């Protein structure tokens, strides 16, 4: 039991350490020759390294959001309080990753676009996600009865989940994007992951996506286990 | 079908009658609109404000007046303790459909009043294609009613009903608000009807999606 978690933890730690080293240390040169050399992307230069950390954070936020929604659905179906516990844990982690993605993105925007906040479509979407998480926890704190809190917050997260895809259609009609990979950029309207990335950059990027997802699952299991123990200790 | 629409119709009838007798929501909402519009008029003064900004402000007024009135349908049932009676009398879906219909007509009449007052009082706000504008008002009312009804059902069970309502509604309604603001801007600029079709498609699909999800989920909210 103990060793299973320990091995998992060690693997995630090692994996992310390698990614942090690769993300920061792989040199950027004008014409890459070696396998470890990254090309210089015009207008982004060294600032392009954020893609190895910022994008996986935003990705993890989405993973957590969907996990929270699916556990909410399972709660409604089974009325098992453990699913509610998992739903809140996922939402809590999602909020953390959402704040991290917003802050890192904002700092990057300051150096690349000149201001911390520009209401670019992606900035707007992450802002809405923050609002949804905020509303979710505000709703939970306004409900006293456990079952009611679990049911209503699950319903709210599902309603929020079904409206979120509308932003994909609404955003491009309202504003033009500055974000790399947004419409108007050379890469077209593709998500950032499909931007003209050379093979070695892509390997680090996808490894980082996997690493952050694993980190999320590790933190999630930690959070759920500690929440279960807390409930047990209250019952004693 | 019969077991859905007949009870839903009676719920709608009950709500409209009790509203017309007390005029609780109507009076409060009308005064809210007058207050909000006069604040806007004072702050604009004699300045020439662009129609982009004005179409945004119109939907700010509409959003907050909906937020102050639409939670009434479910909150009043909780306050008067009539939830149990409705639960005994009919299944959850007709209750939801009846309340949604009532909220739709309330929002629509409110939005028509707001738009007429807005057009009358603010000189800079000229609508060059009325067809787009009034279609936006009707479809926007349907979308607002569908989103706010399920949130009202959730909020009626919470402790801080008033403050939480706009907090929960705003992220849900943001895609809808962005769309109606854009459509209103198109109407003010005098675009062709076909140019706003994309906006109308978004509004209709938004309403359908939210209403469907609400019908499925309302059962869990309504049953204690």
Percentage of chain B modeled with pLDDT above 70: 100
| Residues pairing with A28 in the sheet | A38
pLDDT digits (tens, 9 = 90+) for B2-22: 778 888 999 999 989 988 888
State the smallest CA–CA distance between residue A32 and chain B in angstroms. Answer: 43
Q: Could A155 and B220 be called an inter-chain contact, meaning their C-beta atoms sit closer than 8 Å?
A: yes
Given an 8 Å threshold on Cβ–Cβ distance, is B172 in contact with A139?
Answer: no
ipTM: 0.89
Comparison of pLDDT for B124 and A134, the residue scoring more: A134
Q: Which element (helix H / strand E) includes B176?
A: helix B161-189
Structurally, chain A folds into a number of domains equal to: 1
Q: Contacts of residue A163 in chain B, CB cutoff 8 Å?
A: 147, 171-172, 175, 206, 209-210
Residue B125 reports pLDDT greater than 80: yes
Residue A156 sits in which domain range? 51-235
Best residue in A170, A172, A173, A176 to probe B by mutation, most B CBs within 10 Å? A170
pLDDT of residue A190: 37
B217 contacts on A by Cβ (under 8 Å): 76, 155, 158-159
What's the average model confidence in pLDDT over B195-223?
92
Q: What is the 3-state secondary structure (H, E, C) of A71-86?
A: HHHHHHHHCCHHHHHH
- Give the pLDDT score at B183: 92
**Measured between CB atoms, which of A134, A158, A174 is closest to B217?**
A158
What percentage of chain A has pLDDT greater than the value 70? 88
Average pLDDT of B166-189? 91
B83 touches chain A (CB under 8 A): no
| Structural domain includes residue A184 | yes
Would an 8 Å CB–CB cutoff place B180 in contact with chain A? no
Q: Give the pLDDT score at A187.
A: 39
The reported pLDDT for the residue numbered A152 is 94
In a domain, A7, yes or no: no
**A213 secondary structure, DSSP code:** H
Interface contact flag, B221 A167, Cβ < 8 Å: no
Closest by CA position to A191, among listed A133, A129, A121, A130 = A121
A162: contact with B, CB 8 A cutoff: yes
Q: What pLDDT, on the 0 to 100 scale, is given for residue A203?
A: 85
Which chain A residues are within 8 Å of B175, Cβ to Cβ? 163, 166-167, 169-170
Asked if the model's pLDDT at residue B26 lies above 70, the reply is yes
What does the alpha-carbon distance between residue B112 and residue B192 come to, in Å, rounded to a whole number?
22
Is the CB of residue A98 less than 8 Å from the CB of residue A61? yes
A160 touches chain B (CB under 8 A): yes
**Is pLDDT above 60 for A182?**
no
For residue A18, being part of any structural domain is answered with no
Least confident of A63-77, B43-57, B58-72, B180-194: B43-57
Q: What is the mean pLDDT of chain A?
A: 83
Domain boundaries, chain B: 2-222
Q: At what angle do helices B130-155 and B92-121 cross, to 10 degrees?
A: 140
- The pLDDT, as a whole number, for residue A176 is 59
Residue A214 belongs to a domain: yes
Residue A75 lies in a domain: yes
- Residue B154 has its nearest CB partner, among A152, A163, A166, at A152
Cα–Cα nearest to B210, from B157, B143, B153, B155: B143
Residue B191 CA to residue A122 CA, distance in Å, equals 28
**Within a domain: residue A192?**
yes
Nearest Cα neighbor of A169 from B185, B62, B204 is B204
Residue A85 located in a structural domain: yes
| CA-derived radius of gyration, chain A | 20
Rounded to an integer, the average pLDDT of A53-60 is 90
Token pair in block for residue A45: 């230069």
With an 8 Å Cβ cutoff, is A21 touching chain B? no
Chain B residues close to A155, C-beta within 8 Å:
150, 154, 217, 220-221
Is residue A194 scored above 60 in pLDDT? no
Residue A84 lies in a domain: yes
Residue A192 has pLDDT above 60, yes or no: no
Is the confidence at residue A138, as pLDDT, over 90? yes
Q: Any idea which of A30-44, A113-127, B20-34 has the lowest mean pLDDT?
A: A30-44
How long a stretch of residues is chain B? 224
Q: Is A169 on the interface with B (CB under 8 A)?
A: yes
Residue B158: what pLDDT? 86
Q: Are B181 and B143 in contact (CB under 8 A)?
A: no
């Amino acid at each position: 039991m103990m060793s299973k978690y320990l091995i998992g933890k060690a693997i995630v730690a090692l994996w992310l350490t390698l990614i942090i080293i690769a993300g920061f240390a792989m040199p950027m040169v004008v014409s890459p020759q070696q396998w470890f050399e990254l090309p210089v992307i015009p207008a982004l230069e060294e600032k392009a390294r954020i893609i190895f950390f910022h994008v996986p954070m935003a990705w993890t936020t989405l993973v957590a959001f969907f996990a929270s929604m699916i556990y909410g659905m399972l709660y409604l179906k089974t009325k098992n309080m453990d699913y509610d516990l998992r739903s809140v844990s996922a939402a809590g982690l999602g909020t953390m990753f959402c704040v991290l993605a917003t802050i890192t993105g904002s700092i990057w925007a300051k150096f690349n676009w000149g201001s911390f906040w520009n209401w670019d479509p992606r900035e707007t979407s992450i802002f809405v996600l923050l609002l949804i998480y905020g509303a979710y926890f505000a709703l939970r704190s306004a409900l006293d009865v456990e079952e009611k809190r679990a049911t209503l917050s699950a319903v709210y997260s599902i309603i929020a989940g079904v409206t979120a895809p509308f932003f994909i259609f609404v955003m491009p009609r309202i504003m033009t994007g500055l974000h790399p990979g947004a419409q108007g950029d050379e890469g077209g309207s593709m998500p950032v992951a499909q931007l003209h990335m050379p093979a070695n950059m892509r390997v680090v990027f996808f490894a980082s996506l996997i690493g952050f997802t694993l980190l999320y699952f590790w933190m999630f299991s930690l959070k759920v286990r500690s929440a279960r123990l807390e409930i047990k200790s209250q019952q004693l | 079908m019969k077991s859905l629409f007949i009870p839903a119709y009676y719920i709608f009838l009950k709500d409209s009658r009790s509203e017309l007798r007390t005029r609780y929501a109507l009076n409060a909402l009308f005064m809210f609109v007058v207050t909000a519009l006069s604040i806007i008029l004072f702050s604009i003064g004699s300045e020439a404000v662009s129609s982009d900004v004005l179409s945004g402000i119109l939907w700010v007024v509409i959003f907050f007046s909906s937020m102050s009135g639409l939670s009434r349908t479910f909150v009043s049932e909780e306050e008067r303790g009539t939830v149990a009676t409705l639960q005994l009398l009919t299944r959850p879906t007709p209750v939801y459909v009846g309340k949604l219909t009532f909220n739709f007509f309330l929002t629509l009449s409110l939005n028509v009043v707001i738009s007429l007052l807005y057009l009358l009082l603010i000189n800079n706000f000229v609508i060059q294609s009325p067809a787009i504008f009034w279609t936006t008002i009707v479809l926007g009312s349907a979308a607002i009613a569908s989103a706010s009804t399920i949130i009202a059902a959730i909020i009626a069970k919470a402790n801080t009903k008033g403050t939480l309502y706009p907090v929960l509604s705003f992220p849900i309604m943001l895609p809808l608000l962005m769309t109606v603001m854009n459509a209103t801007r198109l109407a003010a600029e005098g675009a062709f009807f076909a140019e706003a079709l994309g906006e109308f498609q978004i509004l209709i699909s938004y309403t359908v999606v939210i209403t469907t999800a609400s019908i499925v989920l309302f059962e869990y909210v309504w049953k204690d």
